[in-house]
Amino acid sequence: MYRGVKILHDPVRNKGTAYTEAERDYLSLRGLLPPRVHSPAEQELRVLNNVREKPTDLERYLYLISLQDRNETLFYRVIMNHIEEMMPIIYTPTVGKACQEFQHIFRQPRGFYVSLQDKGHIREIMQNWPHKDAKIIVITDGERILGLGDLGADGMGIPIGKLALYTACAGIHPTHCMPVMLDVGTNNETLLNDPLYNGLERKRERGEQYDELVDEFITAANEVFPGVLIQLEDFGNINAFRLLEQYRDQVCLFDDDIQGTGAVAVAGIIAALRITGGKLEDQKLLFLGAGEAGIGIADVFVAALGEQGIPADEARKLCWFVDTKGLLVSSRDNLPDHKVPYAHDHEFVDNFLDAVKMLKPTAILGLSGQPQTFTKEIVEAMAEINKRPLISALSNPTSKAECTAEQAYKWSKGRAIFASGSPFDPVKYGNRTFVPGQGNNAYIFPGVGLGAIVSRSRVVTDDMFLAAAHSLANLVTEDDLERGRVYPPLSSIRKVSAHIAYDVANIVYDRGYTDKERPEDVMADIREYMYKPIYPHYA
């Protein structure tokens, strides 16, 4: 048991001014704290006042991260009780700015760094991690951070933020979470020329050395933390697809940018059909961007149609892509493997507007990382083709969105069903106020992870993400739809995560992916595991 100043410096055990009189005696804290004992509610009020007085979201982010570094229980109490206000600060869009400034705003280390210098010794250094019961690792190599590109070691803000959401949204205990940065260099010249950059000062490693480092890490992680769930995050296209395919059947692993994004976007499409009255098999999707997120959405969409008996080859013909070179068609040469299944026989066009007019999609989905690419002409064309066009501007952060919510509603004369990756404020158009739906992966990955962890699954499968998509869509209420929102409010996200975890866990038990015996009450087992930010008693 820590005592005295040592416990005050332990973020897991620290209660700050909330230590009772008896605890102060028992833990030798007399004289080390102001005399008044504050309730957790009073501490929360102080935090809220400080956060709201900060002049910028980045300053708010820094304040909250500092709180996380000194008192995790209070940090999560504030986040959980004010999730709609706090999520845009601790995650997208603010986390993008934090990663861009990471080397300049660095306060103290958080998370675990593995670099090329550690090759051959990863298992040994993983013993340095202070918590011996890690159940989930979020790892990035920093090559494709949100829509911001290669940020190298400064991408550590993403695993930290994702795991904060695992705790806040799904109740994974903070000590079970391990953020990891795999530092293999960066091709970002600005960072390499910055004397304050924290990562390796070298170009990004490719090929055999890279693969050996990844393999050593995954092997070491499963030896040190048997059965740990590994989430791949913000890897570049060159690595993301192949790493997922290589390891998905060997260990408990998934890629959120591919599978999580796929599930949340398809959930939005399914929910939107309750507004349009259409059928899933009658939809035609046109994507701007053919990377991990776009292909992931198409794959989940194809799987959803497969449930209805539609063969994959036929379902893929309902998914079309425009990348940096134009429409993805079979006549194009040298296509990457992940694009080939969606390269159809069709006339080539080199711009998105012509593709919209030619293909007449029911939905357009932006995952390009290029802002303002859903122009007025494109949205108007979609409104001419469809009574209620689905416009999904999913690139993060907000500055990278293909269009704003206001633009989508205004240009479509209030007929668009709009979803975005980062949050937008409600929009008044005519006599209606629309509440844009945020297709945030936080609706999906925490629940999938929770279900896999509680059931002790050996793998994470595509059908778990499809089940998550259906579960999320089913939780959208008629009131949500009336407001134009195809996702539940963020305030209900712990409920959403619990329901998704329940569906995932049942798949695990039904298909024998675990050695754990199915509990009599699966939901009760899940809820019992979920962390609550309540201070322990020490006396």
pLDDT value of position 301 = 98
- Is 326 found in the same domain as 402? yes
- Is 339 found in the same domain as 296? yes
Q: How confident is the model at residue 336 (pLDDT cuts 50, 70, 90)?
A: very high
Q: What is the CATH number of the domain that holds 383?
A: 3.40.50.720
Cα dihedral angle (370, 192, 207, 125), rounded to 10 degrees? -110
- Is 98 found in the same domain as 86? no
- Is 283 found in the same domain as 242? no
Q: How confident is the model at residue 136 (pLDDT cuts 50, 70, 90)?
A: very high
Strand 229-232's sheet: what is its strand order? Answer: 112-115, 177-183, 136-140, 229-232, 253-255
pLDDT value of position 539 = 77
- Is 307 found in the same domain as 215? no
- Is 233 found in the same domain as 190? yes
Residues 6+ positions from 533 with CB-CB distance below 8 Å: 73, 74, 75, 76, 77, 80
Residues 6+ positions from 489 with CB-CB distance below 8 Å: 84, 480
Task: Give the whole-angstrom CA distance, residue 534 versus residue 532.
Answer: 6
Comparing C-alpha atoms, which of 110, 119, 95 is closest to residue 183?
119
Residue 121 lies in a domain: yes
pLDDT tens, position by position, 351-396: 999 999 999 999 999 999 999 999 999 999 999 999 999 999 999 9
Helix (H) or strand (E) holding 321: strand 319-323
Catalytic residue among 15, 162, 339, 400: 162
Residue 465 lies in a domain: no
Other C-beta atoms within 10 Å of 345: how many?
8
Residue 146 lies in a domain: yes
Residue 162 is among the residues annotated as catalytic for this protein: yes
Residue 361 lies in a domain: yes
Yes or no: say if 153 and 196 are a contact pair by the CB < 8 Å rule: no
Q: Assign 359 to helix, strand or coil.
A: helix
- Is 290 found in the same domain as 240? no
Residues 6+ positions from 329 with CB-CB distance below 8 Å: 343, 344, 345, 346, 347, 348
Residue 435 lies in a domain: yes
Written as six digits, the tokens of 140 are 């990035």
- How many residues does this entry show for the chain? 539
Residue 498 lies in a domain: no
- Give the ranges where 322-439 is alpha helix by DSSP (H): 352-359, 376-385, 405-411
Yes or no: say if 228 and 452 are a contact pair by the CB < 8 Å rule: no
Q: Which of 377, 406, 440 is the last residue of a domain?
A: 440
Range of the domain at 152: 94-251
Yes or no: say if 125 and 217 are a contact pair by the CB < 8 Å rule: no
- Is 53 found in the same domain as 83? yes
How many contiguous H segments (helices) and E segments (strands) does the chain have?
A: 24, 14
Q: Which of 221, 251, 281 is the last residue of a domain?
A: 251
- Is 221 found in the same domain as 74? no
pLDDT tens, position by position, 15-53: 999 999 999 999 999 999 999 999 999 999 999 999 999
Written as six digits, the tokens of 116 are 């090329």
pLDDT value of position 506 = 98
Residue 139 lies in a domain: yes
Comparing C-alpha atoms, which of 418, 417, 413 is closest to residue 430?
413
Using alpha carbons only, give the angle 83, 257, 144 rounded to the nearest 5 degrees: 100
Please provide residue 142's backbone torsions phi and psi, each rounded to the nearest 5 degrees.
75, 15
**Side chain identity at residue 259, one-letter code:** Q
Q: Residue 424 to residues 171, 276, 470: CA-CA distances in angstroms?
A: 26, 22, 24
- Is 71 found in the same domain as 35? yes
Residue 72 lies in a domain: yes
Task: Give the whole-angstrom CA distance, residue 283 versus residue 278.
Answer: 8
Task: Give the whole-angstrom CA distance, residue 212 versus residue 459.
Answer: 22
pLDDT tens, position by position, 179-200: 999 999 999 999 999 999 999 9
Catalytic residue among 61, 76, 91, 342: 91
- Is 161 found in the same domain as 13? no
Q: Is the pLDDT of residue 147 over 90?
A: no
Residue 91 is among the residues annotated as catalytic for this protein: yes
pLDDT value of position 87 = 96
Q: What is the CATH number of the domain that holds 83?
A: 1.20.1370.30
Task: Give the whole-angstrom CA distance, residue 25 versus residue 319.
Answer: 66
Q: Which of 211, 226, 251 is the last residue of a domain?
A: 251
Predicted TM-score (pTM) of the model is 0.95
Written as six digits, the tokens of 142 are 């920093």
Q: What is the CATH number of the domain that holds 234?
A: 3.40.50.10380
- Is 267 found in the same domain as 195? no
- Give the count of domains, the chain: 3
The DSSP bridge partners found for residue 285 are 319, 363
Q: How confident is the model at residue 269 (pLDDT cuts 50, 70, 90)?
A: very high
Residues 6+ positions from 407 with CB-CB distance below 8 Å: 374, 376, 379
Residues 6+ positions from 2 with CB-CB distance below 8 Å: 10, 13, 27
Written as six digits, the tokens of 61 are 């982010």
